[in-house]
Amino acid sequence: MSDEEWGVISSFLPPKPKRGRRALSDDRSLINGILYVVTTGCRWREMPRKYGSYVTAWRLLRRLQEAGVWDKIIEFLTSMRSCRRIAIDSTTVEAKGG
């Protein structure tokens, strides 16, 4: 993710929770890990370690979903476009148990 892209995304992030352990990875690395998982379709456990803990990345994804952050980012990005239609692709990957 470029510095410009991070500048846009970081402005939408909620403050970090005050309770619990402090994350060893920064939000930018974790979000890059989230983007890696959702674009490649790999399992969370297969997320490269350079992005931080896959558990921490998954928890951040869940926290951002619950706070509506992804919706706000998409709304902002679509407002910047000059075209009438925008398509956001989604891929569903079956979760295997065990």
Contacts from 26-31 at CB under 8 Å and sequence distance 24+? 26/52, 27/60, 28/1, 30/56, 30/57, 30/60, 31/1, 31/60
Q: Average pLDDT of the chain?
A: 82
Task: Give me the residue spans of the domains in the chain.
Answer: 1-12+24-98
pLDDT in tens, 70-80: 889 888 877 77
Average pLDDT, integer, range 21-41: 86
For the chain, the first-to-last Cα distance in angstroms comes to 33
Contact 23, 30 (CB under 8 A): yes
pTM as predicted: 0.73
Tokens read off for 18:
């005050």
